[in-house]
Amino acid sequence: MIALTHFIFDFALDPVLDKIQFYRFRTTITDFTNKRRVVENVSTRDVELVYLGKIRDLFYFDVFTSKVTLTSNQSIQNERLLKEDIYAFGDILLGVNDKGEIKKIKNLKEMQQRWAETKAELRKDHVGFEFEDFLSDITEVLEDEEKTVYFLKTNAMFGLYFHGLFGKNDVQKMPIKRKSILLDLDDTEITEEIWIDKRGPQVSIGAQKSDDANKKIISNNVEIQGYQGTLTYGDENQLIESNLKIETEHKNIKYSVIWVG
């Protein structure tokens, strides 16, 4: 008989103290709504992550966005505002549990103050209801730590790095199933199915499908035609690369994170 411990491996969160890790986070959205005019928008963030140490049960990381680049095959409207949206969450002190899941924002007051100063500057050059709605959306998130944590955990932000999948894993209980909200697809909810291969380690991500002959991905809103991702790790559980591709009838979204040094 094989001992049960043979099937359990520890995929541990074990970051290196005070070492700057450089990553590139990218979101590519391709819109096929107009077949004659396919639109592709790309948002790229150069991010520096530093593990600062552990206090009680939380690992603390400084997450600093040093550069934001927006590109498109069409003209970009309100580029400055789009960048300021990202920079509002550009210098964060995160508390993360041992599963790698964001639990606390240590410097939320400072983030709120920076955003208040940014709003004052933006109002010198912008007016209108749409502009004020834009400001209000960001303010509403930053006023509430729970909403800020929720936003930062999405794939569009840091969900492919702080993914909450570390810990002891039983290979006999794969796949791991968990709910996921797709922010860029009208908050559509699906159930992710996740396999962790200890030989990499590598994480494979899919979505739960129906039991009928059609085998469609189960969702509560937008019909999802494809959902596939991987997280690849190197020595000392260093994230090397992660990606997630979502396909619908009119839109493809690809999130990626790559270690650049």
The domain spans of the chain are 4-259
Residue 3 scores a pLDDT above 50: no
Q: What is the pLDDT of residues 111-170, one digit of tens each?
A: 999 999 999 999 999 999 999 999 999 999 999 999 999 999 999 999 999 999 888 877
Cα 93 vs. chain centroid, distance in angstroms?
Answer: 16
pTM of the model: 0.91
> What integer pLDDT is reported at residue 243 of this predicted model?
97
Per DSSP, the residues of 115-170 read HHHHHHHHTTT--SHHHHHHHHHHHHHHT-HHHHHHHHTSTTTTTTTS-S--EEEE
Residue 46 scores a pLDDT above 90: yes
- In this prediction, residue 9 has a pLDDT band, given cuts at 50, 70 and 90, of low
Percent of the chain at pLDDT above 70? 96
- Helix, strand, or coil (residue 44): strand
Q: State the angle between helix axes of 145-152 and 129-142 in degrees (0 to 180), rounded to the nearest 10.
A: 100
> What integer pLDDT is reported at residue 214 of this predicted model?
79
DSSP percent split of the chain into helix, strand, coil, nearest 5: 25, 45, 35
> What integer pLDDT is reported at residue 170 of this predicted model?
74
Percent of the chain at pLDDT above 90? 80
**What residues have CB less than 8 Å from 162, skipping those under 6 apart?**
94, 96, 100, 101, 102, 152, 153
Q: What is the mean pLDDT of residues 32-36?
A: 91
Kindly report the length of the chain: 261
Structure-token pair, residue 255: 């999130």
Query: 4-259 adopts what CATH topology?
Result: Lipovitellin-phosvitin complex; beta-sheet shell regions (2.30.230)
Residue 6 scores a pLDDT above 60: no
The mean predicted confidence, pLDDT, of the chain is 91
> What integer pLDDT is reported at residue 216 of this predicted model?
93
Q: What is the pLDDT of residues 54-108, one digit of tens each?
A: 999 999 999 999 999 999 999 998 999 999 999 999 999 999 999 999 999 999 9
Q: What is the mean pLDDT of residues 187-207?
A: 89
- Helix, strand, or coil (residue 73): coil
Residue 5 scores a pLDDT above 50: no
- In this prediction, residue 8 has a pLDDT band, given cuts at 50, 70 and 90, of low
